[in-house]
Structure 1
């Protein structure tokens, strides 16, 4: 039977396709539909346009026919809002607006919603070309509307959630092995349970008997040679052995007598200086232990003894007091002090600068125990004629006094304590 509906490549389209074989690719971009001028039409290669074009749009899909690699499928969608005409012809145009292919089709009316019925109309043209490699199949992705067929074909390669991967199981062992390899599951994924050999682990019921290299294990645990020795079975004892930490230990009943080098022992304890000083300590009762004559003590006695007096068996009291008894001390400065060596009684004196107000004066020497009293007056006199002048001193503590004056004269003061 002779085909009644078919498509042809136009003469202008054939030139474009031929030029594409030399390196200039052709890009298909649009499709138009028409009513054939109100009657059925036959496609003519000489056509440059449709007989009665009614609608033109950018391509919604453009792809090589999966069943025929030399056939290109072009598609547009006519929206619900467009219509009111019959469709009897269609044509595909390239980016330059050249009609590349034209076809006729069974007439169909495209209604609009206002007429009481509306639909989205899908129009496809199959273009047979000997070599499709020189034709650009790219289209504007922002204008694509997915058809039901497009969606169905697009999701076929994907797994369905409700099937729970049963499609892989149905595909056979090779598919299952590939899936496990892609998920990096390995051979353990097909086991119901894992044994120690699967995870390179020690079995707890072996109590470490399955450790392959026990010597290395002891080294890793820093146990040393003593780990292989038998311990004593009696409380507070160890088994006999040759471990240096046992045979070389100090025995408590020796009380340090078994220390081989006591001098080095004292040195390691950083007690050398302490021990040396202790051997030269003098007792408080007058008894001298150890050899202590000579050195600095001998020099001091020799230099500070004016001459060997003639003493029968003992030195006289006056001689001992003269050279060894306590002596009173003093600082004879402007701000000075005197201390009696026998009683500890002290007198301190000084002068505070003139001014107005109360000033704190630091004593030349703090009283060790108590400040008894302090007296202040105008410097240079014990009394003065102007009754409005007032100089005084008061106790603050054992090392400080206060001086108060209301004029520019300096204040002399004296403090007594012990």
Structure 2
């Protein structure tokens, strides 16, 4: 088997990269160890930066997103009962975000790849990468009881934090930066109308809460819980009561509850690996970096990686610019670290840390007050939330 760009992972980043390359006439083959239903069953992010929205349109998969997605011009911060509006559109010169679930993005990309006739091999196991530092890398994998070899020009590792791509790089070649937070987010999905027409990030002495949504009839709510907590400890009734207790009274009174259709606890961590490439293998998205979900940056960072790699490969194939290959990690990491900083800041400002002393608590309160009470501070929050610009390759 042979292709130009081999992509490991059929999540949104792998599929988006594949669609952009396919549209540009560059051959791709995607390997995925799970089934399509498993991939679509992942419940993930739902806030898309303007840059990602435009990238999906560029890939030709924005029709349903534009028809069904919810354009948000701002969001609210609920700070110990006080509600503050962050007007994204006014503070950023007209930029907005789109509420459209990652599952729907993946579904749209899967459908587009099928229509295009591009190959995705599901159920690929024992994936191994070879010759990454040579001009002729290749991948071996098992499928349906047979072993295959896939020759390629380049490999894109879009297979997530636990995937094989990063693990195939010698540990001595990587620098790892990590912070694990002492809490997680307990999230539920419910077929209830949103409590507010925009997202609400709530800071409360009992812990953080977030009111989000997937549509006008489906909501996604979160509350901060200890890192070692279990879903089994949380009945729907306990969740709703906890959420109400952390919201301003007006929102708590307006909250419509209902049975959960999904419930899970997500741990929070910040993680970056440097560099994001090894020879002709490039790490994309969660394979290279993880952010706490507080700033809605995970999926969006993956999209900016995709944009960078796509534009480099476009110049490589069309102009022979092999010199640009070494720029991938450098360009990506500049944006990655800025997003890591913002996600860390939002997490630090809005969550309760049990080990925080009285002085640190007052500093946090003072810093948050400065940012929300100052137009310059609100502008900084807004600029980061809608997404910093994608960096040009040259």
Give the TM bin, normalised by the shorter chain.
under 0.3
Normalized per residue, the structure richer in helix is: 2
Larger Rg: 1
Q: What is the TM-score of this pair, normalised by structure 2?
A: 0.17
Q: Which has the higher contact order (CA 8 A, sep 6+)?
A: 2
